[in-house]
Amino acid sequence: MVFENIKNSIDFFIRNKTKFSRKNFVEKDEKILFRNYLENLYTYDILEQCLDKHQSDSAKILDIGSKNWFYAKGEYSFFKSFVQTPCLDGVEIDAFRLYSNLYSRYESAKFYTKNLKNTNYIAGDLLSISDTYDYIIWFLPFVTIEPLKYWGLPEKYFMPEKLLYHAFSLLKNGGQMLIVNQGEKEASAQKLLFEKLNIKYTEKGIVKSDFLEYKNDRYAFVTDR
Ligand SMILES: C[S@@+](CC[C@H](N)C(=O)[O-])C[C@H]1O[C@@H](n2cnc3c(N)ncnc32)[C@H](O)[C@@H]1O
């Protein structure tokens, strides 16, 4: 609907201008912390199932659409298991979206990335990233427009083809990109995008972990460059 998009556009504009947030977020709720522990184990497990491990002194990794990066520790621990110095960037276009406790994703991400060396949360658009990476991780990209609207983004940011093309261009030779989609419909849309852009991919099918089960099946794709 037109009005929904106008509302999303105004809200998005205001939060990015004001960057309003309470400061120094610390999660204290034991239940949420336990759930987060499982989410990070889940993340580690999925990366372990899907990616090749190339031992090295250092590697640059990009996480796309990080939200509040509640799963950063799982990613960091996975790469730390075979890379001496992993350097992890997470990019999020809607970093100043507020939770009901009045902390922004940006402030919340500071908590979830605390003590993870060389980890950098970037409040910005994937399209403004120009570094190149050994690994790219992309959990739940918007490949259909409904979830993007539901998440409160203006419709002009729905450009799955352009974003995938750009993400692929950031991969170093020999690099790997993992994309995980939610549900069969999104997985089909993801495949169409790869095919349109002529990007070769390996289908990993439905990925599961014993640590955590999500309501909708998740489908993984790996792209090698
Ligand atoms: C469905 S959410 C997934 C969040 C997180 N990766 C997860 O697994 O829970 C998609 C995220 O991508 C972000 N996003 C969408 N377009 C983006 C862009 N162009 N650049 C950076 N982030 C983007 C959205 O704001 C949203 O936080």
Q: What is the pLDDT of residues 27-45, one digit of tens each?
A: 999 999 999 999 999 999 9
CA 140 – ligand 1 centroid, Å: 7
CA 182 – ligand 1 centroid, Å: 13
**pLDDT band for position 21 (50/70/90)?**
very high
Over residues 165-206, the pLDDT tens digits come to 999 999 999 999 999 999 999 999 999 999 999 999 999 999
Residue 65 CB less than 6 A away from ligand 1: yes
Whether domain 2-224 has CATH 3.40.50.150: yes
pLDDT of residue 2: 85
Asked if 128 and 54 touch (Cβ cutoff 8 Å), the reply is: no
Residue 92 CB less than 6 A away from ligand 1: yes
Percent of the chain with pLDDT over 70: 100
Average pLDDT for 87-109: 98
CA distance 199 to 211: 32
Ligand 1 atom closest to Cα of 67? 27
CA–centroid distance for 13 within its chain: 22
pLDDT of residue 164: 98
At 69, phi and psi to the nearest 5?
Answer: 55, 45
CA 67 – ligand 1 centroid, Å: 6
Domain boundaries defined on the chain = 2-224
User: Across the chain, what does the average pLDDT equal?
Assistant: 97
Give the contacts of 88 (CB within 8 A, at least 6 positions apart). Answer: 61, 62, 63, 72, 75, 76, 79, 116, 118, 119, 120
CA distance 43 to 131: 24
pLDDT of residue 1: 75
Over residues 124-158, the pLDDT tens digits come to 999 999 999 999 999 999 999 999 999 999 999 99
